[in-house]
Structure 1
């Protein structure tokens, strides 16, 4: 009961911080709150992951924390006054690699083949929409990033099917929300503006991060005993 209360407190703090960050992104007069609360929100999610019960793999937790740290760095690059998109892209690419490595600790590589097919189709459809508006110098980096993101989300879904449970299910949701967030961000930037883009992009992004962090706290027995 005490642990559930602690989780609710962390989630409440994360939601409050995220709300202030989104309001600051949407209202120019409050932009200062965006600069403070955007990285703070991801750091709160990281702190939550660190404070969850240590019932799972230490390596899984460690890699998720590394991914969250890299995500925080990406947050900073994407909100700076100058165009730090490439640096942010690189930071999130490394974050997805860390998340992918964590997910490998819980299951084989993409054993549920349907997950690869589903995310390959989604990635292809989004990329086809982006391609005409992508600057030439970004085409290759974005291709690499999309492959890494789709691969991470597909691995999360595959591990869930391989080892059903709350931890793997919430990680799979995290992968799906990450794809949704990055698709919205890319479409808004390179295809057509999305009304209140910051709200949709950041809300789905932090849901994704919360889910991935939350997956640290529980681990199915089938995962713990995996050779």
Structure 2
């Protein structure tokens, strides 16, 4: 059944990305939400190998992000709602965290955050949009924290999903505030839907812990 739902998601996601016109906007929003509904169903059907609490919080985050998909056409409303969605993911990843972020991952993450803050938020401060600039910095901070905590889980699916989410949001922000990116919608939505699927699938990731005798693995 999970495979059927996943196949339906791929089909509906492709239909939305490549075939749904921008108008009427109400129909476009409706079609945009269908893949997220299918992702939530996929997550609900996934056995929780991390923990039951992890599954509940991830599903809550997916639901909030689905709402954000609908209100993103009112930019600040979408930004705030996605911000809340990332908080759910942060809480979930924190509950599964069991390792430190290695230096080779920490440096690029910090560099990414600083670069995006200077480039994107700085462009808004330069034109007098101070409130929007502060909002962008806050959003960069929360998505950076989300990626950081995902890496701390050691769960490859969660890490992949978090990084894809960061990439998707970066493309969207650069296109909106700095320079137009060709095929932006396809880049943003393909990576965004993929990010959500990976995060949902991480519910079924197997957490590996070590007993006192590190030669014995407890799965």
Query: Does TM-score exceed 0.5, indicating one fold?
Result: yes
Gaps in structure 1 of 5+ consecutive residues: 1-5, 161-167
Residue aligning to 2:194? 207
Within the candidate set 177, 183, 186, 1:190 is matched to: 177
Find the aligned partners of 1:93 and 1:113 in 2 and give their Cα distance: 26
Distance of 1:140 and 1:109 partners within structure 2? 31
Whole-angstrom CA distance in 1 between matches of 2:158 and 2:134? 28
Superposition TM-score, scaled by structure 2 size: 0.86
TM-score by length of 1: 0.83
Contact 1:20 1:34 survives alignment (8 Å): no
Contact kept, 8 Å, 2:172 with 2:184, in 1: the verdict is yes
| Contact 1:24–1:32 (8 Å) recurs in 2 | no
4+ aligned runs moved over 4 Å, structure 1:
29-33, 108-111
CA shift, 1:15, in A, is 1.2
Match of 1:13 among 4, 8, 12: 8
For structure 2, the residue ranges without an aligned partner over 5 or more in a row are 211-216
- Alignment of 1:133 onto 2:123: yes
For 1:56 and 1:155, the matched residues in 2 are separated by 15
The within-5 A match list for 1:1-227 is 6-23=1-18, 27-28=21-22, 33-79=27-73, 84-108=74-98, 110-134=100-124, 135-160=129-154, 168-222=155-209
Asked whether the equivalents of residues 24 and 31 of structure 1 are also in contact (C-alpha less than 8 Å), the reply is no
Query: What is the DSSP-based 3-state SS (H/G/I as helix, E as strand, rest coil) of the residue aligned with 2:204?
Result: coil
Change (3 A) 1:157 1:28: same
Q: Who is 1:165 aligned against?
A: none
Larger Rg belongs to:
2
Pair 157,111 (structure 1): closer, same or farther in 2 beyond 3 Å: closer
Preserved CA contact (<8 Å) 2:157 2:199? yes
Aligned length: 208
- C-alpha distance in 2, partners of 1:64/1:191? 32
RMSD, aligned α-carbons: 2.2
